[in-house]
């Protein structure tokens, strides 16, 4: 792969990053606050690609040829090496033939004075007339670029939730403020789970809460409500899981998004992945909803 091909891949990658940043697609990979950094990275990749293409495609600058010795005696190379006579010499002002020397040390130039060393090292050859080729495996680098441009993978869902333990596996601060006004009050899955575990529902009381998450299958085969939380990007995503009682959503496949309304339940379960406690929610009503714009908490 030559420099021009590398520049084209950089250009495609930068365009793919900008395309994802200009839409809601980037929210499937990183948190919302990282959007300015994605835009800056995409612009830098495009600028690097353009500069590389300009450098590679610009016309070559002419190279000045200078004799390495005087005109009267036998000239010597830059390192004292003897010049190559015959066809490799250049006649200067009718005097003795003077070989043309390159700016690469003592290597004489070809007989036509074109600025190419006689050993072929300046034209990509190995001195025997054979051109060098870059490994073709480098073209595989274009596959992730095409994948980002042509394929839009979904956000992390039930499969990722089933492979990782709940994110609320360590003791946290239990001094939670009161819930905001509203009936039902909209809270995130993470907020409810934290209050239910570490505050034992004291800050929730008998208030009705409304949560949005996706359906996943629990260890006992029953549906649970889950939502992924990110620290930075999808690579570090971990699920927050809620067990369900009461009017549990039935007949929905995994990864179906639902909005549930219910009250605090003091029931607790165990996550089979990391043996952490899983709080429960007593559901009073639910409805299926489309995938939200921001799928992560």
Residue that is written with structure tokens 């042509």 in the block = 150
- As a whole number of angstroms, the distance between CA 278 and CA 276 comes to 7
Q: Which pair of structure tokens corresponds to residue 104?
A: 């690469």
Task: Give yes or no for a contact between 179 and 187, defined as CB atoms under 8 angstroms apart.
Answer: yes
pLDDT confidence of residue 59: 81
- pTM > 0.85: yes or no: no
Contacts (Cβ under 8 Å, ≥6 apart) of 29: 20, 233, 234
State the Cα angle at 149 between 146 and 153, rounded to 5°.
100
Quick check: bond before 184 cis, omega within 30?
A: yes
pLDDT confidence of residue 210: 96
For every residue of 160-183, DSSP letters joined together read HHHHS--S--S-----PPPPPS-S
Q: Which residues of the chain have pLDDT under 70?
A: 1, 64-135, 138, 148-149, 151-154, 157, 159, 162-165, 167-174
pLDDT confidence of residue 279: 93
Task: Give yes or no for a contact between 269 and 192, defined as CB atoms under 8 angstroms apart.
Answer: no
Question: What distance, in Å, lies between the first and last C-alpha atoms of the chain?
Answer: 42
- As a whole number of angstroms, the distance between CA 240 and CA 276 comes to 11
Q: Which pair of structure tokens corresponds to residue 178?
A: 């009161």
pLDDT confidence of residue 101: 46
pLDDT confidence of residue 112: 47
């Amino acid at each position: 792969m030559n420099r021009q091909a590398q520049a084209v891949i950089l250009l495609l990658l930068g365009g793919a990053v900008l395309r994802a940043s200009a839409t809601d697609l980037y929210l499937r990979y990183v948190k919302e606050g990282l959007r300015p950094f994605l835009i800056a990275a995409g612009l830098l990749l495009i600028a690097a690609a353009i500069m590389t293409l300009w450098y590679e495609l610009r016309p070559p600058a002419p190279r000045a040829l200078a004799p390495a010795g005087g005109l009267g005696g036998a000239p010597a190379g830059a390192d004292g090496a003897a010049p190559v006579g015959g066809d490799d010499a250049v006649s200067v002002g009718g005097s003795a033939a003077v070989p043309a020397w390159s700016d690469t040390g003592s290597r004489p130039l070809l007989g036509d004075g074109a600025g190419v060393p006689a050993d072929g090292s300046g034209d990509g050859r190995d001195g025997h007339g054979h051109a060098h080729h870059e490994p073709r495996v480098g073209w595989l680098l274009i596959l992730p670029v095409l994948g980002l441009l042509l394929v839009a993978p979904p956000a992390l869902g039930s499969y990722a939730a089933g492979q990782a333990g709940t994110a609320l596996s360590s003791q946290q601060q239990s001094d939670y403020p009161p819930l905001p006004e509203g009936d039902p009050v909209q809270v995130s899955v993470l907020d409810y789970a934290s209050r239910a575990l570490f505050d034992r529902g004291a800050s929730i009381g008998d208030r009705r809460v409304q949560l949005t998450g996706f359906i996943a299958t629990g260890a006992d085969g029953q549906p649970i409500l889950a939502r992924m939380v990110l620290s930075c990007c999808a690579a570090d995503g971990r699920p927050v899981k809620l067990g369900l009682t009461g009017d549990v959503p039935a007949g929905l496949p995994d990864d179906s998004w639902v909005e549930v309304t219910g009250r605090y339940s003091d029931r607790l379960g165990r996550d089979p992945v990391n043996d952490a406690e899983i709080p429960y929610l007593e559901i009073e009503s639910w409805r299926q909803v489309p995938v939200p714009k921001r799928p992560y908490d």
